[in-house]
Amino acid sequence: MTITSRFAPSPTGRLHVGNIRTALHNRMLAKKAGGKFLLRIDDTDAERSREEYVDTIRADLAWLGLEPDGEERQSQRLAIYEAAFEALKDAGRVYPAYETAQELELKRKVQLGRGLPPIYDRTALAMSDAERSAKEAKGAVPHWRFKLDHDQPIAWDDGVRGAQKFDPAQLSDPVIRRADGSWLYMLPSAVDDLDMGVTDVLRGEDHVSNTAVQIQMFTALIAAQYPTQQMPRFAHEALLIGREGKLSKRLGSLGCDAFREQGIEPQAVIALLARLGTSLPVEPIADRQVLLETFDLSTFGRAPARFDDAELERINAALVHQLDFAEVAHRLPEGMDEAGWHAIRPNLSHVGEASEWWRLVTGPIDSPEFSDEDRLYLGEAAKALSWSEDPWQDLIAALKERTGRKGKQLFLPLRQALTGMDHGPDMGELLPLIGEERARERLDAAAAL
């Protein structure tokens, strides 16, 4: 069976790191098997959904290289949900309920006070047609619930959590439609998964109880309207937590815009999130095919996955050091060629830092104050400088012979005079970029300070 997975964000905000991880894993699940990865925009909540967020979701997925093979929007599928709703109504699997939000909250408090689980008591299901008519005559408009079959045990083999079992009698009949006719998450999601041919649903463990309810929905929908479809497989991965070991509100706002502002490469995000929460090591792997080949739900753990900014920075720096000139040429300062990139790349944590390091070549630089002895030494260096295929090694050899200096005394004053810094790129690569004329000027200037 060809695998079809989906990512189904609501356009009520930007994607955050948890969403990104879910999208990535769904795409990897499908692509490893040569299947399809679909994007479904869950925009049935017209009041909170924004078109600008639809655009940013698409843009963020594109930036990450997670483009879907197809896209659907729930707001354009309302007739499909209506047909499914009517089919379930005819099958006796949905029913109207008339309690207000305040009445339901009161029931919940009473049950909790008695030490009982806050499960809906099915009062509305016991109402007669006459009682319903009387309610509606007084202006009451019902919301609608899906009727769980208490005689049908709920069980599935979860791709991450293993065998799962729920007693439907310990679950509330979920509200699937509001009194104003708008849809809640449960039914449209199940309808879409069947109608779109989704074979695998991979999502966060906070959806486990939703899955238990939806399994009965899938069964009812298949019987009532989708006899040729099969229920998808389910897997629930552990949620992300912050470095401190607890759920972090920050993770709910950390997304692609923040990563871009920090200078994080999309491949660093992918390399980290692809293996975060698995038994596989998180490594700076640029080749997505390698990540794909090692993707396996059996490696996913049950413990919360710890997201660490420092680890992301480490991965990012290592991947920057692997980037070829052609990949970043359009992002580099004017005049920096491949030799310049090769020289400066090992010192970068982010590509955006290249401009600061390139100033070591183009100047101006701020030389430190030198001792009289070092100024004499730098004057000697200006005289000894000769241009060749390897001017740095030739200069070092000449000065070592003339002055007897070695080690730090030999190298450090030269680096300081030529770059204004105590550390930085390999001088053997950097000096040819600085050039003979500019190098001599810097040495003379330092000797005269």
Known binding-site residue numbers: 249
Work out the burial of residue 45: count CB atoms within 10 Å of its CB; fewer than 13 is exposed, 13-18 middle, 19 or more buried: middle
Instruction: Name the token pair of 56.
Output: 């940013």
How many angstroms separate the CA atoms of 87 and 291, rounded? 43
Cβ proximity of 148 and 112 under 8 Å: no
Which residue, among 69, 74, 13, 16, has the nearest Cα to 40 in the 3D structure? 74
Q: Which one, of 382, 400, 398, 401, lies nearest residue 390 by Cα?
A: 398
Distances (CA, A) of 339 to 145, 177, 296, 382, 425: 67, 63, 40, 24, 12
Q: Which two tokens stand for residue 86?
A: 């009517």
> Which residue, among 149, 152, 104, has the nearest Cα to 124 in the 3D structure?
104
Q: How many CB atoms lie within 10 A of CB 258?
A: 14
Backbone φ, ψ for residue 146 (5° rounding)? -90, 130
E strand or H helix at 166: strand 162-166
Annotation: binding site for ATP: 249
**Nearest-CA neighbor of 152 among 206, 197, 218?**
218
